[in-house]
Chain A
């Protein structure tokens, strides 16, 4: 289990050490590292099916005192999502990053970010979570500024300031929680809190954690950094940031702490739902007016995160299932869309939709994978996005939240409209004279995009009974609530 952190950290170290002398070491190590992580995380599904919960004691210190790593249903679900996306992105970066200098530094930061994200997912200790959160955030600040152009630096500065303030809020929350419970182990905190509950403290902590993690997740009142930071980064990093980083740092950490550590109540759930709906609508309205390809996608990330949070915030089994399923689907199709935009930028050198047109003839693979991803995000039937949105809408109706269900449908229609625009301006229509020489992107980039498109197509199968345990065990963990502590200490004995 500790390998989920050791492999990317070790790879980052080796790449930064050797990368300057041997050119290809970054490509090879990053791809091997992410591939092995993907295999390990797929293996973890089987482990979770067998044992339910696995606890690893770091340095064999027993948990309430030492740090522990926890592998349960939600953990293995998130690990599969993160490592699947990061492997395909590493594959894509081999060709794409050629146009930047210092490719090995990119891989170092990339692997560090991956180490931070895997660490957040797998840790069972609150302060450890904060440390991994900072590792992932710092490397993402640096990656946003990777091109060192004026816009990129500006976006990175904005992101770094807002991100650091958010981290301070999280740390303050952890300090208060420690002062009250005098322990840092998540399961132990849940135990202590359930034996001496304090509603006032709970609401104060809820505000601190919500503003801290909400900023990392780019929920709407805290979203200002995202539309700058995501388009400015190199495309493979935008895909990583938008596809998995906001979910791991934001949604996963928020949900884990609120559901399993603090214990949820109705007030908090309705707050989550409200934030989800607001982000969903504001994100999509802002997206429609955009002409910059990547900026449009970034606004859609805000909107789609809204769907995830709305689903989880419903608190019913069906709602949580829909939310987590949409989380998985969104990380697949949004990273695919960002990779497409990177491919277009790689060939054309522009991200302005008005200057494109007719690229379907010249770049058939990019155009077709982009069509698949656009249909998925808009929720057109055979693709995965349709199923998860349908589940969320059904869950809303089941919970009696008709207003939210209507908002979700409206958001979906507006998403469809804005992706129609992308398709029309970028890939259909007449090819302008300027782009007669454009060629399809190199083979590894195509391979990564095709694989993601296939997963989009097959993603709907995840709700069939055969794959049910994958999502089901993740939902069970959240439904368990503060009973989480019981299972952790049960697994230790």
Chain B
């Protein structure tokens, strides 16, 4: 149970980081933290106490194994997270070239 609470805390830290920080690099890091928290939650969902990897080998009997589906899903979601992070970092670099700052409060040309 405490693991789940820690996972939630991680999620909230990420959310706080996205909402409150002014440096856009820190916002991107916050986004990463949110993604990791969700991924961690997904792996925890499939975890069993003292479970082992669900690999079927000869002359072995597996009694207690972890659920493999969340692991496969998390792998996909990590790849997606990588793509999003790469894209946003690329945009952040371009923003720095145009505005000369990473401060989100100074990047305000759109309004209305």
Contacts and interface: CB of A to CB of B under 8 A. Distances in A.
Given A138-B83, A171-B38, A179-B45, A154 B77 contact: no
A293 to B, nearest CB: 13
Contacts of B67: 182
Contact of A178 (B24, B70, B80, B92): B70
A161 B104 CA distance: 12
Contacts of B73: 127
A165 B37 CA distance: 12
A161 B31 contact: yes
B84 A150 contact: no
A334 to B, nearest CB: 20
Interface string B1-25: 0000000000100010010000010
Contacts of B109: 150-151, 154
Contact of A153 (B28, B31, B91, B112): B91
Contacts of A154: 95, 99, 107-110
Contact of A171 (B28, B77, B92, B107): B77
Given A153-B94, A165-B31, A184-B69, A134 B84 contact: yes
Interface in A124-182: 127, 130-131, 134, 138, 141-142, 145, 148-151, 153-157, 160-161, 164-165, 167-168, 171-172, 175, 178-179, 182
Interface string B83-109: 110011001101100110000000111
Given A172-B38, A178-B70, A227 B83 contact: no
Contacts of A127: 73, 76
Interface in A316-366: none
A300 interface: no
Given A164-B84, A165-B34, A148 B94 contact: yes
B108 to A, nearest CB: 8
Contacts of A184: 69
Nearest to B72: A127
A90 B78 CA distance: 32
Given A134-B80, A145-B94, A161-B18, A168 B35 contact: yes
A168 B45 contact: no
A247 interface: no
Contact of A156 (B45, B69, B91, B112): B91
Nearest to B73: A127
A155 B42 CA distance: 31
B41 A157 contact: no
Given A171-B38, A184-B69, A155 B84 contact: no
Contacts of A145: 91, 94
A336 B80 CA distance: 33
Contacts of A72: none
Interface residues of B, number: 35
Contact of A172 (B41, B70, B83, B98): B41
Contact of B110 (A160, A161, A182, A228): A228
A290 interface: yes
A151 B95 CA distance: 9
A389 interface: no
A446 B42 CA distance: 50
Given A148-B94, A161-B88, A168 B112 contact: no
Given A165-B34, A178-B70, A142 B95 contact: no
B88 A168 contact: no
A175 B45 contact: yes
Contacts of A160: 84, 87-88, 91
Nearest to B19: A165
A153 B38 contact: no
Contacts of B24: 157
B91 A151 contact: no
A216 interface: no
Interface of A: 127, 130-131, 134, 138, 141-142, 145, 148-151, 153-157, 160-161, 164-165, 167-168, 171-172, 175, 178-179, 182, 184, 227-228, 232, 289-290, 292, 295
23 contacts: A130-B77, A134-B80, A134-B84, A138-B80, A138-B84, A150-B99, A151-B110, A154-B107, A154-B109, A161-B28, A164-B31, A164-B84, A165-B34, A168-B34, A168-B35, A171-B38, A171-B77, A172-B38, A175-B42, A178-B42, A182-B67, A227-B112, A228-B110
6 nearest A-B pairs in the assembled complex, by CB-CB distance = A150-B98, A179-B45, A175-B42, A134-B80, A228-B110, A168-B34
